[in-house]
C-alpha cells in the first residue's frame, strides 16, 4: 500500500493519497481544488486515480472531490448519513455506516462518527496485502492529535441554533461507541493540524494512535468516567472564532463546488491596462507583499493578502466571490509566484484572476496611515478595533477596544462607525494589515497601530512610573 499525506500549511489541512501497488489504482481522500499534486503523485507511481471521497461537508476549504472526478474519471463517494437536512446535492455514490470502497487489495470502510457534523464519516483502512484487520483510521474532523473537531461550527458558520449541544453529545457517543472500540494500535490520521480553526488545541504531530489518544488526550478521563456533562462543558469552552467565509464553504461544498477544469497560465499585464481597469473599478488589486513593505507604499484601494502560509485564509477574509465580482490583479515577483498564489486562492473559491504585475510603479499610489502606540491615548479615535480572536482579546487588550476578528470583520460592518477614524490592531500587525486594507477599500477611515498590540504592550512596560 502507498499511503501519502498531502499537507497544506496555509489551511492546516491534510488530504490523503492511498494506492494499491498491486493493481496500480488509488483513492484520494479530502482532496483540495488545485489537484496537480495528486495527479503528479499518481503519474510518479504509475497509478490511476479511480475513486475520490471525503469525510464530511467541509467548512474551511473548498473540496476538490468534483474537480478530481472531472479530471480523472474517478468515481465519487460521499456520505449519505446525517438525515435529510445534511445530504450532498451533487451526483455521486453514497456511503453509509459499514459501506466499503475497494481499491485493489485495499478496503476503506465508512464509519459514521457524527458530532463535528451530522453526516461525518471516518474511514477505516485495511491493507489486504498485509493484514485482514484495519490498521489506519482517516478521522477527518472527528479526532485530531490531542483534540476533537468542534461541534459548534454549525452554529458559528452555518446558521444553526444551539446545535453545538447535540453535536457535543454525538461526539461523546462517537468516541465511546466507535473510536474507543478500535484496537489501540490503529493509526489515526486527521484532516487538520495545528493552526486550524476546526478545533481549539490541535497538535502539530501529523498522526497518532487510538491507544495514545485514549490515554493522553484531554477527553480521555471524561470518557473513562462516562462523564458526558463534564466532557461537553470542557469541549465547548474557549473555542476560537469561526471565520465568516466558513458559511460559504459549507454551502458550496454541499451544493458541489464549481469545476474549474484546466487553468491557463496567468499572464503578465501591461501597466497601462491595469491603470485603466483600476480607474474603472473593473479589477481589484492585490498586494501580496508583507505588511512592512505595504506600509512603505502600495496601490490605492488595494487589498493586502500576503503570499505564503496564510494566503488562502487571508484571501477569504477580504474577498467574497458571491458579492465581489471583480477579477483580481496580483502583485507577484514572477509568473510562478503568481500561479502559486492563485492555487492558494482557488482552495477557498476565489477563482477569477485577470493576471499579475511584477511592480507597482506607474500605478495609483497610496501609503497606509500608521499611529505610534504612545500617540493612541490622545488620538481621538472613533473606535479602537481589535481584529484578533476573542480568546486573545480576553487574555489582554487595549482598554476600550472593540473585538471583531479579522475573519469576521467584513461581514459585521454594522458594528463599525461610519464617521470618524478607526484605529485597528492585531498582535503583531500582519492580520491587521489585511483587515485594514479591506476596510479602507470599503470606504472606512482606518489608521493602523504600528507594531499592533505587541508594540503597545512594550510601550506600556517601558514608560517610567511617576
94-145: pLDDT as tens digits:
999 999 999 999 999 999 999 999 999 999 999 999 999 999 999 999 999 9
| 70-86 tens-digit pLDDT | 999 999 999 999 999 89
Cα dihedral sign for 102, 106, 112, 117? negative
Quote the cell numbers at residue 410: 467584513
Q: Are both 339 and 450 inside the same structural domain?
A: no
| 25-44 tens-digit pLDDT | 999 999 999 999 999 999 99
Q: How far is CA 187 from the centre of its chain?
A: 24
pLDDT band at 23 (very low <50, low <70, confident <90, very high): very high
The mean per-residue pLDDT over the stretch 137-154 comes to 92
Q: Are both 7 and 111 inside the same structural domain?
A: yes
Q: Are both 352 and 374 inside the same structural domain?
A: no
Q: What is the DSSP string of 368-417?
A: --EE-GGGSTTT--SEEEE-S-HHHHHH---TT-EE--TTTGGG-GGGS-
| 314-333 tens-digit pLDDT | 999 999 999 999 999 999 99
Q: What is the pLDDT of residue 465?
A: 43
Q: Is residue 447 part of a domain?
A: yes
Q: Is residue 74 part of a domain?
A: yes
Q: Is the pLDDT of residue 158 over 80?
A: no
> Which of residues 332, 366, 400 is at a domain's end?
366
62 touches 346 (CB < 8 A)? yes
What is the share, in percent, of the chain residues with pLDDT greater than 70? 96
CATH number at residue 250: 3.60.15.10
Quote the cell numbers at residue 175: 468516541
Burial readout 396-423 (b: 16 or more C-beta within 10 A, e: otherwise): ebbeebbbbbbbbbbeeeeebeeeebbb
Higher-pLDDT residue of 197 and 163 is: 163
Q: How far apart are CA 440 and CA 300, in angstroms?
A: 9
pLDDT band at 451 (very low <50, low <70, confident <90, very high): very high
Q: What is the pLDDT of residue 193?
A: 84
Q: Which domain holds residue 374?
A: 370-462
Q: Are both 58 and 168 inside the same structural domain?
A: yes
Q: What is the pLDDT of residue 328?
A: 98
Q: Are both 172 and 79 inside the same structural domain?
A: yes
CATH number at residue 393: 3.40.250.10
Q: How far apart are CA 13 and CA 32, in angstroms?
A: 9
Q: How far apart are CA 1 and CA 12, in angstroms?
A: 25
Q: What is the pLDDT of residue 198?
A: 56
pTM, 2 dp:
0.94
Q: Is residue 155 part of a domain?
A: yes
Q: Are both 426 and 277 inside the same structural domain?
A: no
Question: Which of these ranges, 60-69, 166-175, 456-465, has the smallest mean pLDDT?
Answer: 456-465
Q: Are both 205 and 338 inside the same structural domain?
A: no
Q: How high is the mean pLDDT of the chain?
A: 94
Q: What is the pLDDT of residue 355?
A: 98
Q: Please identify which residue in the block is written with the cell numbers 488526550.
A: 217
Q: How far apart are CA 357 and CA 278, in angstroms?
A: 13
Please give the tally of structural domains in the chain.
3
> Which of residues 255, 282, 300 is at a domain's end?
255
| 172-194 tens-digit pLDDT | 999 999 999 999 999 999 999 86
Angle at 443 between CA 440 and CA 448, to 5 degrees: 30
Q: What is the pLDDT of residue 155?
A: 76
Helices (H), 107-160: 153-157
| 407-445 tens-digit pLDDT | 999 999 999 999 999 999 999 999 999 999 999 999 999
Q: What is the pLDDT of residue 269?
A: 98
Quote the cell numbers at residue 192: 487538520
Counting every residue written for the chain, the total comes to 466
Q: Is residue 262 part of a domain?
A: no
The mean per-residue pLDDT over the stretch 263-277 comes to 97
pLDDT band at 159 (very low <50, low <70, confident <90, very high): low
Q: Is residue 266 part of a domain?
A: no
> Which of residues 230, 255, 280 is at a domain's end?
255
C-alpha atoms less than 13 angstroms from C-alpha of 436 in its C-beta half-sphere: 29
Q: Are both 87 and 227 inside the same structural domain?
A: yes
Q: Is residue 420 part of a domain?
A: yes
Q: Is residue 117 part of a domain?
A: yes
Q: How far apart are CA 210 and CA 192, in angstroms?
A: 17
Q: Is residue 261 part of a domain?
A: no
Q: Are both 244 and 150 inside the same structural domain?
A: yes
Task: For residue 353, list its beta bridge partners.
Answer: 328
| 341-383 tens-digit pLDDT | 999 999 999 999 999 999 999 999 999 999 999 999 999 999 9
Q: Are both 394 and 437 inside the same structural domain?
A: yes
Q: Are both 98 and 244 inside the same structural domain?
A: yes
Q: Are both 237 and 275 inside the same structural domain?
A: no
| 205-263 tens-digit pLDDT | 889 999 999 999 999 999 999 999 999 999 999 887 889 999 999 999 999 999 999 99
Amino acid at each position: 500500500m502507498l499511503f501519502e499525506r498531502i499537507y497544506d500549511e496555509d489551511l492546516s489541512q491534510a488530504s490523503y493519497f492511498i494506492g494499491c501497488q498491486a493493481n496500480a489504482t488509488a483513492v484520494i481522500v479530502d482532496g483540495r481544488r488545485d489537484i496537480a499534486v495528486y495527479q503528479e503523485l499518481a503519474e510518479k507511481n504509475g497509478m490511476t486515480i479511480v475513486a475520490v471521497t471525503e469525510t464530511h461537508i467541509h467548512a474551511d476549504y473548498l473540496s476538490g472531490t468534483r474537480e478530481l472526478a472531472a479530471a480523472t474519471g474517478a468515481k465519487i463517494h460521499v456520505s449519505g448519513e446525517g438525515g435529510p437536512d445534511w445530504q450532498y446535492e451533487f451526483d455521486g455514490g453514497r456511503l453509509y455506516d459499514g459501506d466499503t470502497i475497494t481499491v485493489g487489495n485495499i478496503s476503506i470502510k465508512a464509519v459514521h462518527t457524527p458530532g463535528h457534523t451530522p453526516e461525518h464519516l471516518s474511514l477505516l483502512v485495511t491493507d489486504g496485502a498485509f493484514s485482514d484487520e484495519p490498521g489506519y483510521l482517516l478521522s477527518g474532523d472527528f479526532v485530531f492529535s490531542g483534540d476533537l473537531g468542534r461541534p459548534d461550527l454549525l452554529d458559528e458558520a452555518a446558521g444553526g441554533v444551539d446545535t453545538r449541544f447535540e453535536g457535543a453529545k454525538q461526539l461523546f457517543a462517537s468516541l465511546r461507541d466507535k473510536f474507543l472500540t478500535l484496537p489501540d494500535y490503529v493509526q489515526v490520521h486527521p484532516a487538520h493540524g495545528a493552526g486550524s480553526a476546526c478545533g481549539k488545541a490541535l497538535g502539530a504531530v501529523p498522526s497518532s494512535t487510538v491507544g495514545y489518544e485514549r490515554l493522553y488526550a484531554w477527553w480521555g478521563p471524561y470518557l473513562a468516567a462516562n462523564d458526558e456533562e463534564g466532557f461537553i462543558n470542557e469541549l465547548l469552552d474557549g473555542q476560537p472564532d469561526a471565520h465568516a467565509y466558513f458559511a460559504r464553504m459549507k454551502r458550496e461544498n454541499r451544493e458541489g463546488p464549481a469545476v474549474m477544469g484546466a487553468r491557463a497560465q496567468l499572464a503578465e499585464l501591461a501597466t497601462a491596462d491595469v491603470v485603466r481597469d483600476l480607474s474603472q473599478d473593473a479589477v481589484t488589486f492585490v498586494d501580496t507583499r508583507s505588511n512592512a513593505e505595504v506600509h512603505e507604499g502600495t496601490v490605492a484601494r488595494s487589498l493586502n493578502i500576503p503570499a505564503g502560509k496564510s494566503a488562502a485564509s487571508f484571501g477569504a477574509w477580504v474577498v467574497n466571490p458571491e458579492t465581489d465580482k471583480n477579477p483580481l490583479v496580483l502583485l507577484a515577483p514572477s509568473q510562478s509566484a503568481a500561479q502559486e498564489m492563485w492555487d492558494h486562492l482557488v482552495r477557498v473559491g476565489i477563482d477569477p484572476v485577470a493576471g499579475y504585475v511584477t511592480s507597482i510603479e506607474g500605478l495609483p499610489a497610496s501609503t497606509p496611515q500608521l499611529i505610534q502606540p504612545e500617540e493612541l491615548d490622545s488620538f481621538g479615535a472613533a473606535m479602537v478595533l481589535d481584529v484578533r480572536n476573542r480568546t486573545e482579546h480576553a487574555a489582554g487588550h487595549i482598554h476600550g477596544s472593540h473585538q471583531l476578528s479579522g475573519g469576521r470583520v467584513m461581514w459585521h460592518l454594522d458594528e463599525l462607525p461610519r464617521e470618524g477614524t478607526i484605529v485597528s490592531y492585531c498582535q503583531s500587525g500582519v492580520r491587521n494589515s489585511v483587515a485594514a486594507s479591506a476596510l479602507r477599500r470599503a470606504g472606512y477611515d482606518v489608521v493602523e497601530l504600528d507594531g499592533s498590540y505587541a508594540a503597545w504592550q512594550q510601550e506600556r512596560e517601558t514608560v517610567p512610573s511617576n
